[in-house]
Structure 1
Amino acid sequence: MDTLKIGNVSLTWLSGGVTYLDGGAMFGVVPKGLWSKKYPANDKNQIELPTDPILIQMNGKYILVESGLGKGKLTGKQLRNYGVTKESEVEESLQLLGVAPESIDFVLMTHMHFDHACGLTKLVNGQYISTFPNAQIITSQVEWDELRNPNIRSKNTYWRENWEAVESQVVPFEEKWEFGAITMIHTGGHSDGHSILLIEDGGETCIHMADLMATHAHQNVLWVMAYDDYPMTSIAGKQKWLSLGLEKNAWFTFYHDAFYRAVKWDKDGKQLVASIKREQ
């Protein structure tokens, strides 16, 4: 499994599933002639987008970032529409690391769209139960409110089966949530309640921008998804956090990138100076 160390904080990518979505939707108004040079599409104009959670080990705690695509929850039609070629193997990944789902202390949900939140629950004997029954599930208050009362646009991605069984575990926050070296910060943009993660330890920095910068190819601040509910907020968030990361020589980590787990750019953001490639 791919790993990254930030000071004494260990990050390990798990196998959370693989989707293929329309490249045009993923890059919004950017012409295909530009984005396809950085992130190639297949003959259906789809691009590969893994849904791989990150297991953080820190101070004797197990912290999961996102939950994967889940297993056995999508219909045949959904599997086709979302181009799913592999469902989640998060529990199997944890088993290889000697970690039980019951041992997860926190699940940090940058937002609760289905491709991030399906792994929070699983179907057992016809009922949805919590996959990580002893974890606190952390997300922004704005996200938690919209999840339970979605609008006409967001109801297609906020599903009851992903939250009703874990409602008692959810701990929402207002502007930020802190635990040791981790700070979770509400940004809005991709969704109104979207958040990012900042990890700082031992003089090193990591920024997980989640779907504000879903892949390395989304580095340009103007390259935002058609899926973003508030694109100008996404642009402002990217400007702020990319600038901070470049100043701090930070690692940028990804949930969806098919090629890189994490990258560092030079101070001008022009060239990659370090990377952790995703195992294929």
Structure 2
Amino acid sequence: MEKLQVGRATLRWLNGGVNFLDGGAMFGVVPKALWSKKYPVNDKNQIELRTDPILLQLDEKNLIIDSGMGNGKLSDKQIRNFGVLEESALEKSLADVGLTVNDIDYVLMTHLHFDHACGLTKKVEDEYQSVFKNAVIYTSSVEWKEMQNPNIRSINTYWEINWKAIVNQVETFEGELEVLPGLRMIHTGGHSDGHSLLIYEDGSECFIHMADLMPTHGHQNKLWALAYDDYPVTSVHQKEKWMDIGYQKNAWYTFYHDAYYRAIQFDETGEKKNYLERQRYKYK
């Protein structure tokens, strides 16, 4: 399990599952000749994507950033279409550091697409129940409203089975929320209307979790937006803003989807300064 220390904050990457999606969809209008130089692609034009929650331990609190792919919630067709090779092993990952899901104080949801939100609930007999029963679940008010009332485009990714069991745990925010001293959730829009990022600052130490504004290291270019983005122009403007801020701060950028890097620290010019690679292994 990879670990990163940023000021008072300790980050560990849990096993939330893996899938393979079409590289063209993940890089939008960018030609394959360009994006394939930045991120590996297989002979089916698919790229490997993790769905790994981050355990963030800060000020004696346990926080989870997004929730993983979950278990047993996808049909055979969905597993095939979404290229799911491995579902979540989150509880085992937590056990490796002496925790259970009941020890989580906060769950920070950057957005609620199925590949981020399936880990919030699980099926017990004939009903879905909350996984993190003792946690406050934060997301933007815009995202929460769309989760419950998806439109014709988003209905395929906002699922009732991922939200009905957690309604009493969800707390929403407008614009910006300070979760703990130095740790903020900021509503950006772009990838989804309610999408948020995280920024943590402790003196000169900083990390920024861009979520799906920059899902992998291959998406560092400010103009490279996903075909999955509901508002790609907003994504570009927000990425430009937060990449500039992060470069000036020598911030660590952390990843949920990247199959190769857990985090990268860039210097003021955007050049890679330090990095934390993901431990690779062969899937069963």
Tell me if both proteins adopt one fold, taking TM over 0.5 as the criterion: yes
For residues 189-244 of structure 1, the C-alpha deviation after alignment (integer angstroms, 9 at most, x for no partner) is: 00000000001114201000000000011010110100000000000100100000
In the alignment, is the contact (CA less than 8 A) between 1:6 and 1:202 conserved in 2?
A: no
Aligned: 1:7 with 2:7: yes
CA distance in 2, matches of 1:202, 1:128: 42
Identity of aligned residues (%): 60
Greater displacement, 29-38 / 200-209: 200-209
Provide TM-score, normalisation by structure 2: 0.97
Deviation at 1:264, TM superposition (A): 1.4
1:66-105 → structure 2 map (5 Å cutoff) = 66-105=66-105
CA distance in 1, matches of 2:263, 2:273: 11
Deviation at 1:267, TM superposition (A): 1.3
Aligned: 1:201 with 2:202: yes
Tell me which amino acid in the other structure corresponds to 1:42: N
1:255-266 → structure 2 map (5 Å cutoff) = 255-266=256-267
Match of 1:181 in 2: 182
Deviation at 1:180, TM superposition (A): 1.7
Aligned residues: 279
Deviation at 1:6, TM superposition (A): 0.9
CA distance in 1, matches of 2:10, 2:226: 30
In the alignment, is the contact (CA less than 8 A) between 1:197 and 1:207 conserved in 2?
A: yes
Match of 1:190 in 2: 191
In the alignment, is the contact (CA less than 8 A) between 1:8 and 1:202 conserved in 2?
A: no
CA distance in 2, matches of 1:59, 1:202: 15
CA distance in 1, matches of 2:31, 2:273: 27
For residues 231-259 of structure 1, the C-alpha deviation after alignment (integer angstroms, 9 at most, x for no partner) is: 00000100100000000000000000011
Deviation at 1:48, TM superposition (A): 0.2
Match of 1:117 in 2: 117
Deviation at 1:266, TM superposition (A): 2.4
The residue matched to 1:239 in structure 2 has which SS?
A: helix
CA distance in 2, matches of 1:107, 1:177: 13
Deviation at 1:56, TM superposition (A): 0.5
CA distance in 1, matches of 2:266, 2:231: 26
In the alignment, is the contact (CA less than 8 A) between 1:19 and 1:84 conserved in 2?
A: yes
Match of 1:46 in 2: 46
Match of 2:228 in 1: 227
Match of 1:161 in 2: 161
In the alignment, is the contact (CA less than 8 A) between 1:251 and 1:264 conserved in 2?
A: yes
In the alignment, is the contact (CA less than 8 A) between 2:204 and 2:249 conserved in 1?
A: no
In the alignment, is the contact (CA less than 8 A) between 1:109 and 1:137 conserved in 2?
A: yes
Unaligned runs of 5+ in 1: none
CA distance in 2, matches of 1:248, 1:3: 21
The residue matched to 1:57 in structure 2 has which SS?
A: strand
In the alignment, is the contact (CA less than 8 A) between 1:110 and 1:195 conserved in 2?
A: yes
Deviation at 1:142, TM superposition (A): 0.2
Question: What is the RMSD of the two structures over their aligned residues, measured on CA atoms?
Answer: 0.7
CA distance in 2, matches of 1:49, 1:160: 24
Tell me which amino acid in the other structure corresponds to 1:230: Y
The residue matched to 1:168 in structure 2 has which SS?
A: coil
Tell me which amino acid in the other structure corresponds to 2:187: H
CA distance in 2, matches of 1:145, 1:34: 37
Match of 2:25 in 1: 25
The residue matched to 2:224 in structure 1 has which SS?
A: coil
CA distance in 1, matches of 2:64, 2:140: 16
Match of 2:240 in 1: 239
Deviation at 1:181, TM superposition (A): 2.1
